[in-house]
Every structure is written in structure tokens, then in C-alpha cells.
Structure 1
Amino acid sequence: MSRCLAILNEVFGYPAFRGLQAEAIEHVADGGDCLVLMPTGGGKSLCYQIPAIDRKARGLGAAIVVSPLIALMQDQVAALLEAGVRAAYLNSTLTGQQAFQTERAFENGDIDLLYVAPERLMTARFLELLDRSRIGLFAIDEAHCVSQWGHDFRPEYIQLSVLHERFPSVPRIALTATADEATRNEIIERLALSDARVFIDSFDRPNIRYRIVEKDNARTQLLDFIRSEHQNGATNDAGIVYCLSRRKVEETAEWLNTQGIRALGYHAGMDAEIRQTRQEQFKREDGVVMVATIAFGMGIDKPDVRFVAHLDLPKSMEGYYQETGRAGRDGSPANAWMAYGLGDVVQQRKMIDESDADEAHKRLSTAKLDALLGLCETAGCRRVRLLAYFGESSAPCGNCDTCLNPPDTWNGTREAQMALSCVYRASRASGFSFGAGHLIDILRGTRTERVAQYHHDQLSTFGVGAEQGEPEWRAIFRQMVAYGFLAVDHQGHGALVLTAASRAVLKGEQEVTLRRYVKPARSRQVGSKGGSRTDPTTGMSPHQRARWERLRTWRAETAKADGVPAYVIFHDATLAELARNAPASVGELRGIPGIGARKLERFGEELIDVVGAD
């Protein structure tokens, strides 16, 4: 352990391990297999990087890191090289000559960590390279990709059990931030980790404020949210906005730009070169908002993403947790904001029903969606609900919308019976089912052309719900679908049908408690525990602020010269400590978190000059 702690201090510049890091690192460094589950930003990478460095130094061989994305490899390798670690990657961005030179260096023992994609790892050529080399460790990052039931399934991951079969004496560590119990069990089974230790750290990200709002012109709500909480004068925080469709991505990005928000679009239908350019812009430039499908995000290490917004409902709790987890990796306050409405529920249910998956997969997808709907509709703490999904108990957090502004609940049994009865009578009278909009017109007694066409103004439910407004009824129908009393008829273009569970409500055998509809209000900053715009200069004197600006300018120039994102040089937290403490010698720099031996040697004198230029 003393060896690994020394590496943490000298290479990475941090004084102590966090959470379960120390135990997991010691286990792997000593040759044990393990599965590590830690939240995004929790320090998973160190759990294999430090044992890799330690085992290589002891002559036990280099580490092979299996990584699913080019962006992830490049970020990790760039950061390790800046810290003085001999790291490299093999992927499609290299020329044939570059790949050959990397393979030669690895075989000669000149590389400590080599990152590869699972597709390349499983080729006969690469396995033969491993046979000729000394291997000290296999690290399988984003291990949830092995799960066929998961949200990021990669078929190539299933083949990774060959590592245990072919190299039984080499320790393996699998890591992920997103896995419920079923997915954890599948990782263990498919990667042959039955004898491995399992380290599960808390899934909680206390610096993230979770907020889910009722959709009411979601684009305008998004703009209001960004302007009120993530914009300061002409600049805004870095953020990610997730949309379900490529078209919506492009339209939203274009619209945000017309509103003065610097936004880029990103989806899988774009040319690969454009995607790469935009990804680099997001990583290297300040204040960029990336509007994207889920094609963007996994492996993005940008630490200062201050918000993640969803304009459409994700498919599962895992997807929501992983996507929102890209905010606040630096530990500073961040927001997870989502606009959610009945249309989202209908759309996701329809997508499941119309998919080519088998019935077992559809049932599991429905259960995962139901868990997410439970999070959206809960009247209790959202964090408690989210953590419970991953098997972790917790107390109300005081840092989500339902804790800060507890919603009212009411006995909606009578209105639920009205809604269910209307669904039944309208479909019985016409021979087919209808969507929520038409059903609401019937309940409110609105004689539209469609209501007249089907003679639905003659139904006994016509006008019985006139005392409730259209938004209130939409909230009721949304909750009825979320609670399983209504289902989406995938053959009826989003039409609603009764379920078996609705019988007890109609017969008066089950009460229905609903969240009371509240008209969406303008976004505002609430509380101080998290979720508001983060200013690292808070509390700084004018002299300290001046140092901060000089340090940022120096960092930007250095990053540009090195061809890496600014955060690879130093995180904001490190610059803030430098600005506040004004170290006057290289020796005093040793106490600043984030400055390891290599960076101290390379940048020490420059930092002293920049800090001391008052």
C-alpha cells in the first residue's frame, strides 16, 4: 500500500485515497481480480492506473486497458503522458507505421499502459502480440458494455472471457459506474470473475442537483434554465443537452445559437470528421453547450460540465444516471435538469413495443422504463429513489427539487376513475382507442370536430371532468400510464388502453394518490448546497482573481502548445488553490493537490513566475 500511495502522491499529486480506492488498488496490485463500481468522477481510473504503474515497476509487465471509445483512450493517454506515465493507445486514428511503432515499444517493455478497443484486442494478431509480451494487468473499463440487457451493449465485450482462459495468472479488474444487481451478475458471469472481489462504492453524486420539470414548451424552459443558472454576462457554463432524435438535436442547437447560447450539434448521422471536430471543441473550449443524442458522452472526461439537460426521457434509470453523471466530475455543484411530459411516456412505450427485440427483452425494457417513470413521478426525494434502484439506501438529500420544494399530493381516485371510464367508453363506442388529447376533450366537454365525428359528446363521461383544466388532465393521464393503469397501444399511434391493474381502480378497490399539477415556473436558483453556477473565484481578493486569470491564460497557452484540453494540464481546482495560496517556491507547490512530480518538474518554475507576477 505504501508503494501505491507514493504513486498517488508523486505521479498524480494527491495526498490520500478516497472511498474504496485504497482497498481495491491494493487488491489488484497484489494480483487479485476484482469488479469495481464507482460513480462517475469517483476515481475509477486510478484503481487500475496505480496498480499498473506499480506492477510494471516491479517487473511484472505492462497493463492492457480495454476501452470502448477512441475519445476515452485519447483523454486518458494524454493525461497520463502529462503526468509522466508511459501510456499509449492502438486505434483507428493511427497510421500503419504509428501502430507498428507502438506495438514494438510495447513488446520491448517501453510502455506502462496500452489502451485498446475490444475489437482490436480479439484479433489473432494482437493476441499473438500479448503472447510474446509480459502482461501485468488487464483492465476492462466500462464493463457494463458486456450486458446484453444494458444500455450500452457491445457484442465484442462478451468475448473478453478469453483473457482469463488464455492468461489465467494475469489479474483482471473490471470497472463501471452504471450497473444494477442484474447487470453486475452478468458482468461477473460473462467475464469469468466468479472468484473476484466486488468493490461497490456509493453511487451518490452529492454535488449534482436533480430536477425534473413538467414540459411546457421545453425549448423555452431549457433556455430559461441556462440563462438563469448557467450564464454570467456574455459567457455560459459548459453543458450537455440530450435529445432523442437527430433532427431535434440539429433544430435545438440552431435555435440556441439564435438565442445567444454557443451550441454545437452531435449525432451518429453526422460525418465522422465533423463529430470529431465538435467533440474537440467541447473538450478544449470554454462555455460550449453540446446538443446531442446518446451517441455523445461515454468516455468524455471534461471535468467542468456544469449541467446536463434532457429534452426527452431516457430509456432507463441506468441511462439517466450515466448521462447526468457527466456533470460535475470535478466535484463542484452541477445540475441535472429534465423536462418530462405525457408524450415522452407514450413515445418510449411505443418504441419498446415496436422494437425487434424478443418478448423477454421487451419486458425488461418496460421494467427499466417503469423504474425511471417512478423517479419522475415520485413525491419523495429523487436521490433516495435513484440510489435505491442501485441497491443503496439513503436519507432525503435536501438537494433535489422535491426536497427543496416538496410537491403536493392528493387523492385522485375519482379523477382516475373518470379517465379510465372515458378510455373504456370511447373505445367501445368507436371500435378503436384514442390518445390523451381526444380523451381530455371528452372529459372537459369540449365539442371539437373529432368529438362530434365519433359522437363522443353522447358518452356519459362527456364533460364530467370540466372542473379540471387541460394541463391538470395531462398530468393525470401521464401518471396513470406511469403507474401502469393505462398502457400505450402501439398499433394505435399512441392511443391509450386499459390494463389489468385498472380494474381495481374502476371497482373502487384501490385508491390513487397523485402529484398535484403545478404550472411550471421560471427557473431560479434555490438553496446553496449545489446546482447553481460555480465560480472558482468566489471569496478571492482582487489580487487572487488577477492571479487566477493569469494562470488560466498560461494554462490555455500550454494546453494549445501540447495539443491537449486545458483540464489535462491542470483542473480549475488546482489553479484556484494556486491563486489563493500564492506559493513562492517550487517546494511550496508540493502541497497543492493535482501537482505530481512530473508536472512539478516541468511546470514548477513557470507557475512560480505566473503566480508571482503581481
Structure 2
Amino acid sequence: MDEEDIFGSHPEPNEFSVANFDRTCDASRATPHPNREEILYQILQKTFRFQEFRPKQLDAINATLDGRDVLVRFPTSGGKSLCFQLPAIYDLHNKHATTFVIQPNVSLIQNQVAALRKLQVATEIFEPRNTRRQADYWKALVENANIPLCFFTPQMMRMSEYLRDVLGELLSQNRIARFVIDEVHLILKDEKGEHGEAFRDLCSIRASDRLGMQDVGDFVTTEIRANLRYSVVFRDGIYMRNVRLLIKFLEEHKREKGLIFCRRVNECKKLAKDLQEKNWSTHAYYARLKERDTYLEEFTQPGGGVNFLVTTNALGIGVNLPNLKYVIHWDPPYSFEEYLQQSGRAGRNGEAAECVLFFSPHSMSRQPHGAPELSDREIQQRNHMIRYAMNRNCRQTCHPYATQQTLCGVCDNCERKSLFVDMTKSCARTHMGSARVRGSAPSTWNSSSCALSWMKFFGK
């Protein structure tokens, strides 16, 4: 039986275009409900079981409810998903409209849908293979619009003409609240690859100027979460000495779950093998590994025998690991954004966690043989990473996107400073008296001149 027989007669296709969707959004913009903020807090507390919004969340939610295009740029566990999940629930009751979420990773969709259903939030995934169930669901959606959130991948839309027809029907009835593009950085990094090609096929995304967003509300938080302690360990050229430093850290966290990130597969395999030879139970985890699912299950199961994985960035989206107590970077990433993203996997449950960067300036200058010359942007990204690692100020305030000035008090630099007391002024006053006796007091004083003067004084 073909798709036409199962679904019955298709709804008459409507032109599903950017212009039509924009006109619908403009028409739906209305004066906000006078009690909107109160209602949003009720949904936050009763449905999602949070008492307060995180920074910038409420601003982003209000912007999308006002009908604006919104770009949300938060670090890992910064609360991005709530910025579209909560408005979806609000719009379902306020306008009987559904939010469509486009995500490039099926595992991530499944994790998010499972979490929402635990909170009693009705969600659905468009799965072309399950045709009869999908037929019933999509008919109910068109007739009743009783689902706040619907998830699908770009590839799913390419495979189903029926889905495009349903979207056209919902659009004509003004029952599409918004389109959400999650993990958008993957699409922009892969414009010529599978994700980029699939997203270009979506009529809901403006083809010009990448995503072509208009009247954009850009909401950014780049602060390091307060429960994370950041530190940098400087690597020298002696490999096994660096491994011993790593083992020393692992011995202090034997019973805790963690990740060790390597930049390349070969480095990942070598480090995992060397640690195994030192009687550590671990696995190398990378993209084309046949045992990926087995290793991940062994790592995530309580009492699985493996407390940490040595991994590349293959351990990315779609893998939910809330209880990690540390994330170690054996090699620094080439951009600080990537470092924030990966290190932010630690402490997602809100408990204290460690983020350790093994750093060597030489490792930032290495280029694979035959690789193209670095662009200006790539050079800038590497410089950000170098400046962060070499800086001696608080890790919360010295990274390239920091906006806060309050010292965290727990990072390696803050702890190091707490061990020292600035005695410059005291030394200067003491030595001024001694220097006057000798007739050699300098006209201005700072820590350098004070130290130099003391050396001269005691050297005579």
C-alpha cells in the first residue's frame, strides 16, 4: 500500500513559502497579554519545575512571543531549549498554534522528547517509516492543533511531500507559531555537507544571507557556570611526564565520571592505550568506532566499570551525561567557543565539577600536512585560546567574551593569587627610609622598581 492510500487524500497543497510565513507572523503580532509574564512564570514553575529564569531566558522568550526572529547563543547547559519549549506551551493555549523544531540529530530529538514527556508535555516526532501512526497523528494535528511541539530533521522533510502539505495547511490556518532551528552551528559549519544541503531545502528558512533572519533579537550569555572550576596545566615536551600529571588528577577522582577530550583520533587511541597499560579501565571513543554504543552504555550505566572515556568531539550532541564531575582537554580546541561547549558538559546537574585544560602554545601552531592556510578568523580564534590559557587573571573574567567583573574565587588563578599578599607598598615605605639614608631613593615606585631597588640595596 503506498503513502497516498494510507494517508487518504492529501490536503490541497498551499504555497509554503518564506513570504507567506512572514506575512502570517506579522498578522499574528498583537498586543501582549497583560498577564503574560505571570503566565510564563506559572508554566516555568508548574511544568518545568524551575523557580526562576536563567539570565537572558525571559528576554528571549518575550522576543519570540512578540513575533521577532531570535538568535539564542548560550553555552552548554545555559538553558537554550527552554527558550522555545516554554513559548510553545504558551502559544498552544493562547493561539492554538504548534511550534516546529528542526534538529539535525535524531538522538538529540529522542532525548528531548523523552524529557518533555516526563514533564507531561505533549510532543511528537515526524518519522516517515511509521506511516499509519503518522497519518493519524498528522490528521489530528491539522484538525485539533493540540500538540505544542513537533520535532523533525531536515532529511525527514525532504523525504515527505505529505509533511510539506500539512505545513502548508497549518500555515493557511495561522496555526504555526514558529520554526526553531536547534544546534544551528552544525548547519553553518556544514553548509556544503549533508546538514547544510538539507536545510537549504526547507522553504521555512530564508536562503539569502545564510539564515536571512530579520529584526533579530540576539541574546548571548558566555559566562562560565558558577559550579565549574576552570584550571590550566602547562604541558612540556615530555609525553610521559604529562601522562603522570593526568594520572595524578584521575587518582583524586577515581570514583567520579568524566571525559578526556583529544583533538585527533590517533591521539585519542594512544592516550587510551597508555592509560589502559597503567591499569585504568577506559575506552577510546570516536566517530567510526564500531563499539560506540557498547562503550557508551558501559560508561553511562552505574557500576559499568568505566568511569571515564578518552574521546574526540564525536561525543557531541544527542549524548546526555548530566553527572560528569570533570572534563579534561588533553589538547586545546582551536576556538574558545568549542572549548566552552565541550567543557560545559561537566556539572550539568548543578553540582561542582572540574574543567582542566592541558595547554602548550606549540599545540596551537600545529597544522596537518597539506592543510590550507589559516583564515584571519581561524587565527583570531586560536589567539583567543592562547590568551585565555596564558592569562593570570580570574578565568571567569579573562576569557574573550566575558562581561562580568566579579572574581569567581575558585579557579586556579584566583586560588594562586590568594596564596600571595602584595607587599609592594610596605616594601617601598621600608626601603624609602633606608634609601634616604644612602641618598638613593627613586622618584616613583612600583613592584618592579621596588624589587630592583631591593636587590641593589642588599647587593651592596
Q: Give the whole-Å Cα distance in 1 for the aligned partners of 2:391 and 2:40.
A: 44
Partner of 2:122: 86
After TM superposition, list the pairs within 5 Å mapping 1:248-397 onto structure 2. Answer: 248-257=267-276, 259=278, 261-271=280-290, 274-285=291-302, 288-341=307-360, 343-347=362-366, 350-351=367-368, 354-356=370-372, 362-386=375-399, 389-390=400-401, 392-397=403-408
Q: Give the whole-Å Cα distance in 1 for the aligned partners of 2:93 and 2:393.
A: 51
Give 1:307 deviation, angstroms: 0.9
2:177 to 119, 128, 136: 136
Q: 1:250 to 1:326 in 2, by over 3 A?
A: same
SS at match of 1:392: coil
Partner of 1:179: none
Q: 1:37 to 1:370 in 2, by over 3 A?
A: same
Q: Give the whole-Å Cα distance in 2 for the aligned partners of 1:118 and 1:138.
A: 12
Q: 1:341 to 1:26 in 2, by over 3 A?
A: closer
Q: Give the whole-Å Cα distance in 1 for the aligned partners of 2:135 and 2:362.
A: 52
TM-score, scaled to structure 1: 0.54
Partner of 1:400: 411
Instruction: Assess if the C-alpha contact under 8 Å between 1:70 and 1:91 holds in 2.
Output: no
Q: 1:404 to 1:105 in 2, by over 3 A?
A: farther
Q: 1:158 to 1:197 in 2, by over 3 A?
A: same
Identity %: 27
Q: Give the whole-Å Cα distance in 2 for the aligned partners of 1:303 and 1:101.
A: 35
Q: 1:106 to 1:290 in 2, by over 3 A?
A: farther
Alignment deviations for residues 122-158 of structure 1 (CA, whole Å, 9 cap, x no partner): 55623333213332221121223343499x9952476
Does residue 227 in structure 1 map to residue 251 in structure 2? Answer: yes
Instruction: Assess if the C-alpha contact under 8 Å between 2:327 and 2:356 holds in 1.
Output: yes
Partner of 1:210: 230
SS at match of 1:147: helix
Give 1:275 deviation, angstroms: 2.4
Q: 1:379 to 1:51 in 2, by over 3 A?
A: same
SS at match of 1:294: coil
Q: 1:86 to 1:317 in 2, by over 3 A?
A: same
Give 1:195 deviation, angstroms: 0.4
Instruction: Assess if the C-alpha contact under 8 Å between 2:396 and 2:404 holds in 1.
Output: no
Q: 1:332 to 1:364 in 2, by over 3 A?
A: same
SS at match of 2:64: helix
Q: Give the whole-Å Cα distance in 2 for the aligned partners of 1:197 and 1:117.
A: 24
SS at match of 2:47: helix
Alignment deviations for residues 380-421 of structure 1 (CA, whole Å, 9 cap, x no partner): 3333222xx22635344322222222599xxxxxxxxxxxxx
Q: 1:145 to 1:78 in 2, by over 3 A?
A: same
SS at match of 1:120: helix
Give 1:102 deviation, angstroms: 5.5
Partner of 1:192: 212
Count of residue correspondences? 371
* Structure 2 residues not aligned, in runs of 5+: 1-36, 420-447, 449-460
Give 1:262 deviation, angstroms: 4.1
Partner of 1:54: 90
TM-score, scaled to structure 2: 0.71
Q: Give the whole-Å Cα distance in 2 for the aligned partners of 1:275 and 1:227.
A: 25
Give 1:346 deviation, angstroms: 4.0
Root-mean-square deviation (CA, aligned residues, Å) is: 3.4
Alignment deviations for residues 534-587 of structure 1 (CA, whole Å, 9 cap, x no partner): xxxxxxxxxxxxxxxxxxxxxxxxxxxxxxxxxxxxxxxxxxxxxxxxxxxxxx
2:106 to 67, 70, 91: 70
Q: 1:193 to 1:333 in 2, by over 3 A?
A: same
1:113 to 149, 170, 178: 149
Q: 1:2 to 1:189 in 2, by over 3 A?
A: farther
Does residue 16 in structure 1 map to residue 52 in structure 2? Answer: yes
Partner of 1:2: 38
Q: Give the whole-Å Cα distance in 1 for the aligned partners of 2:67 and 2:77.
A: 25
Q: Give the whole-Å Cα distance in 1 for the aligned partners of 2:266 and 2:406.
A: 40
Q: 1:97 to 1:354 in 2, by over 3 A?
A: farther
Q: Give the whole-Å Cα distance in 1 for the aligned partners of 2:297 and 2:125.
A: 18
Give 1:205 deviation, angstroms: 1.7
Alignment deviations for residues 17-62 of structure 1 (CA, whole Å, 9 cap, x no partner): 2222223223323433322222322222111111111112234322
SS at match of 2:81: helix
SS at match of 1:405: helix
Alignment deviations for residues 451-491 of structure 1 (CA, whole Å, 9 cap, x no partner): xxxxxxxxxxxxxxxxxxxxxxxxxxxxxxxxxxxxxxxxx
| Counterpart code for 1:209 | R
Instruction: Assess if the C-alpha contact under 8 Å between 1:208 and 1:328 holds in 2.
Output: yes
| Counterpart code for 2:370 | E
Q: Give the whole-Å Cα distance in 2 for the aligned partners of 1:365 and 1:374.
A: 14
| Counterpart code for 1:206 | A
Q: Give the whole-Å Cα distance in 1 for the aligned partners of 2:406 and 2:221.
A: 17
Alignment deviations for residues 249-294 of structure 1 (CA, whole Å, 9 cap, x no partner): 23433444555544333211213xx323434444454673122111
Give 1:330 deviation, angstroms: 2.1
Give 1:63 deviation, angstroms: 1.4
SS at match of 2:408: coil
Q: Give the whole-Å Cα distance in 1 for the aligned partners of 2:277 and 2:146.
A: 51
